[in-house]
Amino acid sequence: MMSILDEMGTANRQLIVMGYKITRQREATLRVLFENEAEHLSAEEIFMLVKKNNPDIGLATVYRTLDLLNELDIVEKINFGDGVARFDLRSKDHEHMHHHLLCSECGQVKEIKEDWLQEMEVRLEKEFGFKVSDHRLEFTGRYHKCANKSCKKVRKAV
């Protein structure tokens, strides 16, 4: 179990190794990502959170940082189909466990942390000559508790 500081240190080290610089803006963006690991934030949302402590940061910088982190596989860029890209930390413990439940009623996105697909990946390589490097599994549906209208929307449903 790593602390946020440890995890940020690891990410920073990855940046340095690849010849990138640690800047105030990049650290602030990483911090927001680590502090909101459970969420699936959009660039805009990340931007606004970073702005709280760094009012002078530019939106373009956040986009450039997220691009960079995506390239380094520190975050994963996902699109749930609502027109904005969202960004998810890809710490070691999450690897290959990118399963999501999307509730069409309340818009909630829940992460499922189990790897159910190992077997299928073996099959794909054998049968299709396709070597899997990553996967993504998403279930759309609704929670029982949302079937009655009592649940509050957390996001525009997809």
Partner DNA sequence: CTTACTGCAAAAAGTTTGCAACAGG
Partner DNA sequence: CCTGTTGCAAACTTTTTGCAGTAAG
Site string for DNA, 6-25 (x = CB under 7 A): ----------x--xxxxxxx
**Residue 61 binds: one of DNA, a copy of itself, none (C-beta under 5 to 8 A by kind):** DNA
Residue 122 makes contact with DNA by CB under 7 A: no
CA distance 77 to 132: 18
**Residue 143 binds: one of a copy of itself, DNA, none (C-beta under 5 to 8 A by kind):** a copy of itself
Handedness of CA 109, 113, 119, 121 (dihedral sign): positive
The CB-of-47 to DNA minimum distance in angstroms stands at 9
Within 8 A by CB and 6+ apart from 14, the residues are 72, 74
Residue 47 sits at the vertex; the CA angle it makes with 137 and 93, to the nearest 5 degrees, is 35
CA distance 18 to 14: 6
CA 69 to chain centre: 11
* Complex with a copy of itself: residue 28 or 117, whichever CB lies closer: 117
The CB-of-139 to a copy of itself minimum distance in angstroms stands at 5
The CB-of-152 to DNA minimum distance in angstroms stands at 21
The CB-of-135 to DNA minimum distance in angstroms stands at 22
Chain residues 29-48 in contact with DNA, contact rule CB under 7 A: 42-44
Site string for DNA, 78-107 (x = CB under 7 A): -----xxx----------------------
Distance of CA 129 to CAs 84, 96, 117, 121, 126, Å?
33, 20, 17, 11, 6
**Token digits of residue 52:** 């709280």
Q: Which residues bind DNA (CB under 7 A)?
A: 16, 19-26, 42-44, 54, 56-61, 63-65, 67, 83-85
